[in-house]
Amino acid sequence: MFCFKNARELTCLFAVAVCVLTGHSLANESEFQEEFLKREYSLSKPYRGLGFSSSSFWDLMGNAMVTPDHVRLTPDLQSRQGAVWSRIPLFLQDWELKVHFKIHGVGKKNLNGDGMAVWLTRDRMQDGPAFGNMAQFVGLGILVDTYPNSEPGDKSFPYISVMLGNGTVSYDHDRDGRPSALAGCSALVRNSLYDTFLLVRYSRYKLRVMVDVDGKQEWKPCVDIRGLRLPTGYFLGASSATGDLSDNHDIISMKLYQLTVEKTPEEEAEEQESVLLPRVDDMEQFIVIVEEEGMSGVQLFVTLLFSVLGVGVLAVIGLMFYGRWTEKRRKRFY
Ligand SMILES: [Ca+2]
């Protein structure tokens, strides 16, 4: 039999039990007092009214369709685009989004695509080349890329990356978003034997992305970014696109939890300052060197050398003409 010295211990054990029952990892939970599921920002079975009822909190777009078990963003067919977008803007400061998804298809490894993305953006219901969303989005994108369009380099695919859009940077599909990716990780999310989950946690301007893809009920760290400023009032969404290659991209649930965080007066004052556009405080840590098409060092040296020689030759010719001209003039006077 368990004995409790005080009510606090009892509360503690109750909290542990709740966490275990709700399938949440206890790691890193200590910094939060409580978390509440927000139904108006969540999408789960049964998907009542989704796509046709005005009472639903979500809208469907493109080829997305609802079945009793999932929201299929795209079927395993070429050139499809689909999305699901929240209707209510999110005004929470500290939140956690748990996405249960499934990417599967008949294509062999690297003959499938293109992947899917989870969004928190200023605009909603836009289509485009960024996994079925506009390339120049404003907000946060968690991109699950299952096909390497360019040389994968040291990255193995599927690859999950984070991009912050401010309206001027575009997602570059042909380069797998490499120039704009803030951070990322590889994760075996396709044709998995296990349920696959993504956790996005945003609190105290820190963004953390974790994955649970190998059936161990453990969150593995994927991305950790400090000083990431996101304006509030953005929309949650998930989208996907197929091209020549395809896959089924399914969302089983998207659950948003409000995190209650104890904050210092300084932190509360900081929250009052409005953030107009998404940004990262210390961008230096995310600088990506993009090789611009232009002159190489050798080309530049040769061009400069010939320019200097050219100017020298012109100066000599000029001096010669000037010399002859002054000579002729002198002869005329004598
Ligand atoms: Ca890709």
Neighbours of ion ligand 1 (CB under 5 A): 145, 147, 149, 176
CA of 176 to the centre of ligand 1 (A): 4
- SS3 of 247, please? coil
**Between the CA of residue 156 and those of 197, 222, 300, 317, what are the distances in Å?**
19, 14, 36, 62
What pLDDT is attached to residue 297? 62
Q: Is the pLDDT of residue 284 over 80?
A: no
Compute the average pLDDT of residues 297-321: 78
CA of 31 to the centre of ligand 1 (A): 36
Lowest mean pLDDT among 33-42, 182-191, 220-229: 33-42
CA of 110 to the centre of ligand 1 (A): 10
Instruction: From 187, 210, 206, select the one nearest 198 (Cα to Cα).
Output: 210
CA of 116 to the centre of ligand 1 (A): 10
The predicted-structure confidence for 228-251, as pLDDT tens digits, reads as follows 999 999 999 999 999 999 999 999
CATH match of 31-286 with 3.40.50.10860: no
CA of 259 to the centre of ligand 1 (A): 33
What pLDDT is attached to residue 28? 47
The predicted-structure confidence for 140-184, as pLDDT tens digits, reads as follows 999 999 999 998 788 899 999 999 999 999 999 999 999 999 999
CA of 121 to the centre of ligand 1 (A): 21
| Neighbouring-strand partners of residue 211 | 198, 220
What pLDDT is attached to residue 314? 86
CA of 210 to the centre of ligand 1 (A): 20
Residue 185 and residue 213 in contact, taking contact as beta carbons nearer than 8 Å:
no
The Cα 10–Cα 23 span in angstroms is: 20
CA of 129 to the centre of ligand 1 (A): 11
b/e code 45-54 from CB counts within 10 Å (16+ = b): eebeebeeee
What pLDDT is attached to residue 321? 77
| Tokens representing residue 321 in the block | 């003409």
pLDDT higher for 327 or 277? 277
The helix or strand, by DSSP H or E, that contains position 136, with its residue range, turns out to be none
What pLDDT is attached to residue 122? 98
Q: Cβ atoms within 10 A of the Cβ of 162, count?
A: 24
CA of 175 to the centre of ligand 1 (A): 7
Q: Is the pLDDT of residue 1 over 70?
A: no
The predicted-structure confidence for 108-140, as pLDDT tens digits, reads as follows 878 999 999 999 999 999 999 999 999 999 999
pLDDT higher for 293 or 58? 58
Q: How do the domains of the chain map onto residue ranges?
A: 1-30, 31-286
What pLDDT is attached to residue 332? 59
With vertex at residue 86, the alpha carbon angle to CA 81 and CA 44, rounded to the nearest 5 degrees, is 90
CA of 330 to the centre of ligand 1 (A): 77
Residue 115, amino acid: G
Q: Is the pLDDT of residue 334 over 60?
A: no
Q: Is the pLDDT of residue 264 over 70?
A: yes
b/e code 223-243 from CB counts within 10 Å (16+ = b): bebeebbbeeebbbbbbbbbe
Query: Would you place residue 55 in the very low, low, confident or very high pLDDT band (cuts 50, 70, 90)?
Result: confident
What pLDDT is attached to residue 306? 80
Q: What does DSSP assign to residue 303?
A: H
Q: Cβ atoms within 10 A of the Cβ of 171, count?
A: 24
Q: Is the pLDDT of residue 282 over 90?
A: no
Q: Is the pLDDT of residue 13 over 80?
A: no
Q: Is the pLDDT of residue 63 over 90?
A: yes
Query: Would you place residue 313 in the very low, low, confident or very high pLDDT band (cuts 50, 70, 90)?
Result: confident
The predicted-structure confidence for 16-51, as pLDDT tens digits, reads as follows 444 444 444 444 445 666 789 999 999 999 998 998
With pLDDT > 90 as the criterion, what percentage of the chain qualifies? Answer: 65
